[in-house]
Amino acid sequence: MPVQPILRYPHPVLKKLCHRVEKIDRSIRDLIQDLVDTMHEGPGSVGVAASQIGVTLRVCVVDVSKNRHGKENNHGLLLMINPEITARSGSATMREGCMSVPDYTGDVDRSTTITLQFTLPDGTLQEITSSGFEAVAIQHEMDHLDGILFLDRVTSIKTGLFRRKNY
């Protein structure tokens, strides 16, 4: 499947609430493959949400297994349809970046452990508990499904937003 162009802030689709997937068919499986291919192509990317490629459906992918922050604690490639966080605990501030906001990074407070449910491409309901960097990446991608960018969650616009030196 082809790598898709990433929408950049302030594109209006990035602020839209995504719709639930009602039926998993070939088009949804193709969308998931496009997201995986796009994630792998992005510089240092550990996740992509459907809205970032212009599709307002509740679908995202995350894989932190190749990133130094997630190498030791991850579930591998997560293909998530209609993900929902059912429990959360802890809090930590971490620097985040985003392919849709390539010129900046920012300090964001996130839960350190989450439990979530989502549907797999084969229709199976999955529940996992995630922590650390993987939990942060999942929350970041799920925010995209709600029209929220990390810019909306930066701890302080004055002290917590940083111009990226290189991308």
**So which residues are the catalytic ones?**
141
Rounded Cα distance between 42 and 122, Å, is 26
Q: What's the distance, CA 36 to chain centroid?
A: 12
Rounded Cα distance between 143 and 120, Å, is 19
HEC profile of 42-90: CCCCCEEEHHHHCCCECEEEECCCCCCCCCCCCCCCEEEEEEEEEEEEC
For tokens 């996740």, what's the residue?
47
Rounded Cα distance between 28 and 121, Å, is 8
> Which of left, alpha, beta for 44 (phi over 0: left; psi -120 to 50: alpha)?
left
